[in-house]
Structures are given as C-alpha cells and as structure tokens.
Homo-oligomer: A and B are copies of this chain.
C-alpha cells in the first residue's frame, strides 16, 4: 500500500509493545508530517546514545547511565533496607510515592518454569552479594502473580538462613475501589492482612 520506505518506517514502530499496525501508521505519519528534520535527527541520536550508554547498575541492577546509579550512590538513602522489584519501571512507580527512602534491587524478570526462566536467569545472585551486615530488611515487591509470588517465596527461603528480615508488600482492596468489584483472591488477601484499628 505504502512505498517501501514508509512501510519500513511503520514496521519499526509496529514492533513496539502495545503498538498495533494502525497506531504504527499514525506514528509514522506523525514523523513524516509533523516533525521537523532536526527533530527526527535528534530522536535518532537519542535512540543510539541511550542504547549505547545505558546499562545495569553494578549494585542494584537498575538501568542507568552512571554506575553506581543515582539512588545507590545517594547519601540520603537508607542503606539498611532493600526493596526487590521485577522491573525498572517498578522502581519508578515506587519512587513516585515519595514514601520510600531505602535502596532497590531489580530482578529483571521472575522465575517461570513454563517460560524456561530459572533463578540463574534473573538477578538473584547479585542480590545475595549485597547482603553485608548493613542490610536489615528485604522488602519483596514482586507482582502478586503466580510467578511473582513464587519468586518472592524462593528468595525468602534463600535469605532465611542469613538472618535478614524479609517482608512482603501488602495486598488488598485498592484505595478508591469498592469491595463489590474486588476479585475473591484480593478480598481473601485483604481479610488475611487485616490490621487492628487503634
């Protein structure tokens, strides 16, 4: 339908997660119709520069272009707590709350036998290497999915003999939601995790 150059531009965008053929077409036409040549050259430069300079932080494994990353090298962060998450975007989500001042550890995935992801394929070894005497608590903040929970339990068992406290983030009814629309598992978790009102 389109000339080969336009087709290949559309294909580039269509490979992105959550972008179908129609959205890719819309983005390609945005690039061709609405962006200036300078804008497009700038975008191309940022793409290649980001890809070549961003890597994993040697400490927390989060994506960064300096290592250690800004969080690991900050003097303001509480180095006695490490929050373990699945992906870099989870770090961003927790940082947005502004309520957490400890460190992070990014696993880059979860253990999943079906997808052939074993404990060695995610950054668990790197977490164990961080356990010096300074770390007092590990918060497991993997997602409440089957694999996320299994990964949390697996790591908790590894850490048990090391004398570090392991906690799991709470699961329950989201704020602003109503009981009526909660699924049974969430409701069960909300009941199990009930706390005394003082």
Q: Which residues of chain A have a CB within 8 Å of any CB of chain B?
A: 1-6, 8-9, 12, 16-19, 23, 25-33, 35, 37, 40-41, 43-54, 63-66, 69-70, 87-89, 91-92, 95-96, 108
Contacts and interface: CB of A to CB of B under 8 A. Distances in A.
Given A1-B91, A9-B46, A44-B45, 15 more contacts: A3-B64, A4-B65, A5-B50, A6-B65, A8-B46, A12-B43, A16-B30, A17-B26, A19-B27, A29-B87, A33-B63, A35-B51, A40-B48, A44-B44, A44-B48
Nearest to A54: B32
24 contacts: A2-B63, A2-B88, A3-B66, A5-B50, A5-B53, A5-B54, A9-B47, A9-B54, A12-B46, A18-B27, A19-B23, A28-B50, A29-B63, A29-B87, A29-B89, A31-B50, A32-B51, A32-B54, A33-B63, A35-B51, A37-B51, A44-B44, A44-B45, A47-B47
A51 B40 contact: yes
Given A23-B18, A30-B17, A6 B54 contact: yes
A3 B89 contact: no
A46 B14 CA distance: 14
Contacts of A41: 48, 51
A92 B25 contact: yes
**CB-CB nearest 10 A-B residue pairs:** A44-B44, A40-B51, A1-B92, A9-B50, A5-B65, A1-B95, A16-B27, A44-B47, A44-B48, A3-B64
A165 B91 CA distance: 63
A44 B95 CA distance: 31
Given A3-B69, A6-B65, A17-B26, A32 B47 contact: no
